[in-house]
Structures are given as C-alpha cells and as structure tokens.
Amino acid sequence: MTKLSVIMPVYNVGKYLPMCLDSIVSQTLEDIEIICVNDGSSDESLSVLQQYKEKDSRIIIIDKKNEGSGVARNTALAIAQGEYIYFVDGDDWLDNNSVLEKLYSKAVEDNLDILIFGGLSCYENEGRIYKSKGGYSLKTVDKKYINKVFSADDIKKDIFEFPSTAWTKLYRRKFLIDNNIKFQLIKVGQDQLPFFHSMILGERIEVIDEFPYCYRKNRVGSAMTVKKKKNHSPIYVTKAVEELLIKLRKFDDYGTMALSKYFGKATSWLGKFQDDLKPEYYAEYMELLTHLQGSYNGWWKYFNPTMNDGYWSLKVKQIIAKQKFKLLK
C-alpha cells in the first residue's frame, strides 16, 4: 500500500503550481501518490501538471469540468490508494521537504485517525515571502490536547477550538471511507462539513504544535479574498450539519452548539452580502431561521434580523438574543 496520497484540487493557479508541486515532489517521504484534479482550469494549469507528470510518475492527473474543489477532492479520494490522505491547495506549498515524512511517521506511530497541526499565513510581496502563524496558530486549542491522543468523546465541548481547514489534517483513508466523510459541494467552506463529521467520529486524534503548511493569503482571484459575500454556502453548511447529526443520532450531543456556530456564520454573512444579491440570500436565511425557531431551543428564538441590518447591528442583536436566551432558559 502507498504510504500517503496527496490530493490537490487545481483551478486557475498555473502561476503558483510550480512552487506547490516542487515542495511536494521533493519530499523525503517518497512512497506517495500525488493526485491532481484539474477542475476545468482556463489558464496554463493543466499544461504545468502535464510537464511535471512527465518528470515524476507519482503524479496522477484527473482532468474534468469545473465543479468546485469539493467535487475535485471527492473525485480524487475515490481513487486514492494511500494509507493516509493529505489535502493540499494548488496555490499553497509545504514549508520544507521533510513535512510529509514527519506527519506520516507520527500518524503511524500513534495509530491515528486524524493528525492535526497548524499552518503559516504567507504573503508574497515583490518576490519575497512573509510568514506568520496568523489564524492558524493553534492558540485556541487547549494545551491539554497537544501531543496527546484523544477521541471525539473527549472534546465534545471543545470541538470548535480546533482548526477546521482540510490542510491542517492528515487523515487515515480507511477512516474517511468507512464513515463516508466527504466534502460538501458548495463554493466556499467545503471543508466545514468533513471537519465536523470527522471530529465527532474520530477515535484516535492528536494535535502537534507544528506549522508545516504555507497558506497563500494574498492571491488575486482567491475566493477567500472576496470582501462582499455572493453565495449561500454558510446556510448550506448549517443545513448539512443538522442533517448529519440527525442521521448519526448525535443531535443531543452536539446540536445546539453546532447550530449556534454555523448559523452564526450565516448571520455574519448576511451583514456582508453584496447588495444586489442580498434579497435572495435574506429570503433563504429567514427560511432557515424560521425552521430553527420552530424546531430547536436556542438564542435564535429571540433573534429578529432585518435585511437592512449591517454586520455590526447583527452582532449586537445576536449578543442581546444570546443574553436573553441565557436568562430565560
């Protein structure tokens, strides 16, 4: 069995692909496969992938129409052969050439379903790279979890302290397949559902205080650099998490906390939504709010947003609703 499958969705990142691929093919862990899914790129991405494949037989190229990184990752996962899986984005890179060997060795040594680590926020300016731990510093993770093997049952109250991005995890492939853990087919936040799904089922999870991944923060055209929101992804995440918990019969354990987290995200997007698209988002958002108010006890029962509310007015209303719920429950 191949030790590790690196899965990389690729969409119009031809300018950055060489840096990413160089950081992977040079890894000291050589028994790997590199599954690159060209997701309908219109730039030189496919050509770059083909050039690298000519030099390295470990590279597997899947060329398909554009359907988003969630579909791309699921497509690659379906054919992956590695004992462990690592997800990399085509515009990012690994910090040094021993990253995969260290991660794989740790996962095997401790027989892990999920190995969690941090990442570096990286900015490129005039040819120079600037790195910081930024939002991937692991500072929200309680130290009691660092370098300790724990299970989902141990972290019920702390689950959202852990980083949710796909590239801060090494997964046992059998664990993902056996539990049908897949990426959501949405434009942004595709990794939220598999993060939550895996963290409530993992039997052997560990966090290490390492930062092996370089996440490119200032790429032009990246979905993460868009200031005004234009899609309904957080609404779809909230609905999917609710459905998952009901299916797994774990709603009593996680329901209120999870809905508060993900519906709160959908609320913050309401305050940032592009004006001409906001009425449609607001209509679907209010359908979700009405459903939550009629189905579950939570702060949303006392929450009354309007379409004209801005980000900060929604924050204030949310705080008031949470305080009222706390007092009256």
Rounded distance between C-alpha atoms, residue 132 and residue 268, angstroms: 26
The answer to whether residue 220 scores a pLDDT higher than 70 is no
- Model pLDDT for residues 73-119, shown as the tens digit of each residue: 999 999 999 999 999 999 999 999 999 999 999 999 999 999 999 99
Average pLDDT (201-212) is: 97
Which pLDDT value is given to residue 300?
Answer: 97
Average pLDDT (126-144) is: 87
Which pLDDT value is given to residue 297?
Answer: 94
Which pLDDT value is given to residue 1?
Answer: 87
Is residue 83 a contact partner of residue 4, using CB atoms and an 8 Å limit? yes
CA dihedral sign, ordered 144, 145, 147, 150: positive
CA dihedral sign, ordered 236, 242, 248, 254: positive
The percentage of residues in the chain with a pLDDT greater than 90, rounded to a whole number, is 89
Which pLDDT value is given to residue 133?
Answer: 82
Which pLDDT value is given to residue 90?
Answer: 96
Which among 301, 298, 284, 180 has a CA at the least distance from the CA of 233? 284
The answer to whether residue 222 scores a pLDDT higher than 80 is no
Q: What is the mean pLDDT of the chain?
A: 94
Which pLDDT value is given to residue 135?
Answer: 73
Which among 38, 51, 49, 50 has a CA at the least distance from the CA of 12? 38
Rounded distance between C-alpha atoms, residue 134 and residue 122, angstroms: 9
Q: In the structure, what pLDDT confidence band is assigned to residue 137 with cuts at 50, 70 and 90?
A: confident
Is residue 260 a contact partner of residue 302, using CB atoms and an 8 Å limit? no
Rounded distance between C-alpha atoms, residue 232 and residue 282, angstroms: 10
Q: In the structure, what pLDDT confidence band is assigned to residue 134 with cuts at 50, 70 and 90?
A: confident
Q: In the structure, what pLDDT confidence band is assigned to residue 328 with cuts at 50, 70 and 90?
A: confident
Q: Residue ranges of the domains in the chain? A: 4-225, 233-328
Q: Locate 171 and state its tokens.
A: 């997964």
3-state secondary structure of 211: coil
- Of 182-186, 187-191, 231-235, least confident by mean pLDDT is 187-191
Q: In the structure, what pLDDT confidence band is assigned to residue 250 with cuts at 50, 70 and 90?
A: very high
**Contacts of residue 146, Cβ cutoff 8 Å, sequence gap at least 6:** 138, 207, 208, 209
Average pLDDT (279-297) is: 97
Which pLDDT value is given to residue 219?
Answer: 58
Which pLDDT value is given to residue 293?
Answer: 97
Fold of 4-225: Spore Coat Polysaccharide Biosynthesis Protein SpsA; Chain A (3.90.550)
The answer to whether residue 24 scores a pLDDT higher than 90 is yes
Rounded distance between C-alpha atoms, residue 329 and residue 312, angstroms: 25
